Structure 1
Amino acid sequence: MTERPRFFDDLAGVAGGALSAFSGLRDEMAALIRARIDEAIRKLDVVRREEFEAMAELAAKARAETELLAARVAALEAMMVPAAPRGVEPLPPQSNPAPELPPETDHG
């Protein structure tokens, strides 16, 4: 059997080194593109999906807690209505009457 010429071993080493360099170049390009996209997103003031989902979860929890507290307030108000003095009418729940403004007059 004859040995392979050293030329082919050197060529295989150079090819392996080139493939390794191209692989590193590909990783570097991917990191550069990712950095540019992140920068563009920050400039556009766009929210990331993870941040959006976290805020949506917080909002859902707050909404559920608000509904629970509203039910508790309604139950407490219902308990207070019979205890109101006779002749005094309790305020309707969550009534916020708008203040009346004086009529505008034309001085012209």
Structure 2
Amino acid sequence: MEALSEDLIEKKLLHFPDWEYHENAIWAEFEFDSFKDCFSAMSRIAFECEALNHHPNWSNAYNVLTISLSTHDANGVTIKDFKLAEAIEAIVEVQE
């Protein structure tokens, strides 16, 4: 799988308003009502990650989840990252 060009990444990000491109990855930060809600979303996201065999760099501090997606084998952002971002968006949207 090949890394996408920066122009194509920026174009695709128009459909992902919560995400930004920097440091060779796409990034998002989501805030939830509580730690429990954040952890619940992380658990649901983990199942999607396994299904797609693609795993984010992420962290959480209380009710804030920070996610970074890139494809290490391609040394950049690929379509795989956008597929996972789309799944994450669907999960986070349900939580809100």
Tell me the TM-score range normalised by the shorter chain: under 0.3
Q: Which has the larger radius of gyration?
A: 1
Q: Per residue, is there more helix in 1 or in 2?
A: 1
Q: Per residue, is there more strand in 1 or in 2?
A: 2
Q: Which has the higher contact order (CA 8 A, sep 6+)?
A: 2
Q: TM-score, normalised by structure 1?
A: 0.21
Q: TM-score, normalised by structure 2?
A: 0.24
